[in-house]
Amino acid sequence: MIYLDNCSTTPMSEDALKEYGKYASACFYNPSASYAEANKVRLKLDEAREKLKKMLGAKGGEIIFTGGATESNNLSLKGSEREGKWEYVVSIGEHPSVLEVAKSMEKKGRVVHYIPLTKNGEIDYSFLEKVLNKKTRLVSVMLVNNVTGAINDIKRVSQLVKSLSPQAVLHVDGVQAFKKLNFSVNALDIDLLSISAHKFHGPKGVGALYVKNKTQLKNIIFGGGQEFGIRSGTENVAGIMAMVKAAEEIDTEKAFRHVKQLHDAFLHEIENEKGISVVCPDGSPYILCLLFAGVNSETLVRMLENDVVVGRGSACSSKKAGNSVLEAMGYSREQVKGALRVSFSDISTLKEVESAAKIIKEKYLELYERTK
């Protein structure tokens, strides 16, 4: 079986698994305790924060450890919410862990502006410029779209936000970008950035939020005051240490070159095949969103599952009808019905990818003949 649903999750690396075992057993101590062994664990957590900050290109700021990107995204929006006549700006292409929070804010009477997407999958920058004002409290735009791979120009976004809404904070969902694209939160002038360990060979159930200025963020979980008082609860030390180990193992530039080769090889196998079109072919090479005319992709995914594992979009919303991202780009419900997502990782091989492309093409033609 060939696994090509790496946007959904990735297998833990051997070194990350070893690190997890070490801190789950031998070094299991609670970092909030006062005895010597616990102090050693707390120092290791501090080292882990600094390592992540360095990998993110952060000069200053803090790392808040969370239970994953969903929590990091929720914390960013809810923690930035304020009483009064503030306004919030969110891309319509965001992950449900951002969009659902925005909808809940609307129900409370908050003013939320949704930035539409253009045909190339990026946000509409002119719309963003129009809605930004001095009452804007938060802007949330992801770096790499998890459905299409479209890459937003975050530098352009941050420049607009800082010039037109000086009191606003910029949140970026960096889940499909961290350790996949080279970027710096400092160079892009990002205030908040979310990451998730299991997207880059770390464990599930752990993530982090980079926070440029923690005084801008209020806590949404109350308890013992861990994580600078912003995220109470005993830290998942084993998960955190494994997450950092997994991140350290990846050479971002080397991985990018390898995945770009896989991406191009896959496209070469399916190009010119009637009925198959590619959404955002120039986006992140880690993600390929394909449209298969005349078939239901859910049926195609099931036909493939013994040979090739692929996805239909965000795993967090795979059971919902339609695809809000593709529809926001102007694709019809009929076109969206045939959408399938192939996503690569640094451990995918060229042989696997070429074989998978041929199998997908064959199964599609078989299904198309059966349904026409």
What pLDDT is stored for residue 272 in this prediction? Answer: 84
Which of the four pLDDT bands, split at 50, 70 and 90, describes residue 320? low
Write the DSSP assignment of 290-352 as a string of letters.
EEETTS-HHHHHHHHTTTEE-BSS-GGGTTSSS-HHHHHTT--HHHHTTEEEEE--TT--HHH
The pLDDT score that the predictor gives to residue 133 is 98
191-245 pLDDT, tens digit each: 999 999 999 999 999 999 999 999 999 999 999 999 999 999 999 999 999 999 9
Nearest to 359 by CA among 97, 4, 23, 37: 4
Coil, helix or strand at residue 88? strand
Q: Residue 111 pLDDT more than 60? A: yes
Measured over the CA atoms of residue 117, residue 118, residue 120 and residue 123, the dihedral's sign is negative
Structural domain boundaries in the chain? 2-9+251-371, 14-249
Task: Look up residue 213 and give its two tokens.
Answer: 């200025």
140 pLDDT tier (thresholds 50, 70, 90): very high
Instruction: Tell me the pairing of strands 192-196 and 339-343.
Output: unpaired
In sequence order, what are the residues at sequence separation of 6 or more whose Cβ sits closer than 8 angstroms to the Cβ of residue 176?
A: 7, 142, 143, 144, 145, 146, 149, 199, 284, 286, 287
Percent of the chain surpassing pLDDT 70: 97
pLDDT band at 312 (very low <50, low <70, confident <90, very high): confident
**How confident is the model at residue 67, as a pLDDT?**
97
62's CB contacts (< 8 A; 6+ apart) are 49, 210, 211, 214, 228
Selection from 292, 252, 300 nearest residue 270 by Cα? 292
Q: Between 3.40.640.10, 3.40.1390.30, 3.40.50.1000, 3.40.50.2300, what CATH number should domain 14-249 receive?
A: 3.40.640.10
Has this prediction a pTM greater than 0.85?
yes
Longest C-alpha distance within the chain, in Å? 70
Average pLDDT, the chain: 95
Is 316 assigned a catalytic role?
yes
Distance of CA 279 to the CA centre of its chain: 18
**pLDDT (average), residues 348-357:** 97
Predicted local distance difference test score (pLDDT) of residue 318:
46
Catalytic position from the list 27, 280, 289, 316: 316
User: What values do phi and psi take at 314, rounded to 5?
Assistant: -65, 125
Q: Do residues 4 and 348 make contact, with C-beta atoms less than 8 angstroms apart?
A: yes
| Equal CATH topology for 2-9+251-371 and 14-249 | no
Please tell me the CATH superfamily of domain 2-9+251-371, with its number.
Aspartate Aminotransferase, domain 1 (3.90.1150.10)
Nearest to 112 by CA among 137, 76, 146: 137
What is the reported pLDDT for 372?
67
User: Measured between alpha carbons, how far is 245 from 16 in angstroms, rounded to an integer?
Assistant: 5
Helix 14-24 and helix 237-249, axial crossing angle in degrees, nearest 10: 160
Q: CA distances (Å), 48 to each of 54, 62, 174, 265, in order?
A: 10, 11, 18, 37
Task: Fill in the amino acid letter for 267.
Answer: L
